[in-house]
């Protein structure tokens, strides 16, 4: 008798997380968690992303108790404050001006849950990104090319990043929104083979 692998659900609406998780070769489905994320800029970013990842995973796991549920949350951190998703284009513009010519940290929290047996695992990653000095012309050119309202810090390194990013240290997939090495390790601990 063959056992089918456990069902994996990604508790995220992010198309970037979906694309990254698909690279691991583990079959999964997507269920978006209907939760209100904690986005207080003064909260420790590691605490905030861990809390939001768990919030998403817990919500979906409660509705799909037999599935392994992966939740993730990412934020950008600079000058002691989190830069979450911009409210509008003006907010995205202001974020890019703040990031201009500086190095910031991208934090992602991971949470895995399975309600049936109380499985609870946490993980995370951080990477540093240096942004080029940006003038208004470059910022406007970037905003014209990239939909930034669904991206922490008002930018996506994977979309026209060459316009604004000078370099990075750490996991590129973490900066995009799902650290693949850490995700692979946490899913392997749950019996899923990437």
Q: Which residues are catalytic?
A: 73
Both tokens of 117, joined, read 């047996």
C-alpha–C-alpha distance, residues 172 and 87, integer Å = 25
Q: Is the dihedral of CA 160, 39, 77, 72 positive or negative?
A: negative
C-alpha–C-alpha distance, residues 71 and 125, integer Å = 14
Q: What element of type H or E holds 166?
A: strand 165-169
Contacts of 104 (CB under 8 A, 6+ apart): 76, 77, 78, 83, 128, 129, 131, 153
């Amino acid at each position: 008798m063959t056992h089918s692998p456990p069902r994996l659900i990604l508790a995220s609406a992010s198309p970037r997380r979906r694309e990254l998780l698909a690279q691991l070769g583990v079959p999964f489905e997507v269920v978006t968690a209907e939760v209100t994320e904690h986005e207080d800029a003064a909260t420790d970013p590691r605490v905030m992303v861990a809390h939001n990842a768990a919030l998403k995973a817990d919500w979906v796991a409660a509705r799909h108790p037999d599935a392994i549920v992966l939740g993730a949350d990412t934020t950008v951190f600079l000058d002691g404050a989190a830069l979450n998703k911009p409210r509008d284009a003006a907010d995205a513009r202001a974020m890019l001006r703040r990031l201009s010519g500086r190095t910031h940290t991208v934090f992602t929290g991971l949470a895995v849950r399975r309600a049936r047996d109380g499985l609870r695992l946490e993980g995370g990653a951080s990477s540093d990104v240096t942004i080029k000095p940006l003038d208004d012309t470059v910022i406007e050119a970037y905003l014209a090319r990239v939909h930034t309202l669904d991206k922490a810090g008002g930018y996506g390194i994977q979309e026209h990043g060459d316009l604004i990013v000078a370099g990075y240290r750490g996991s590129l997939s973490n900066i995009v929104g799902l650290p693949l090495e850490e995700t692979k390790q946490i899913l392997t601990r749950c019996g899923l083979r990437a």
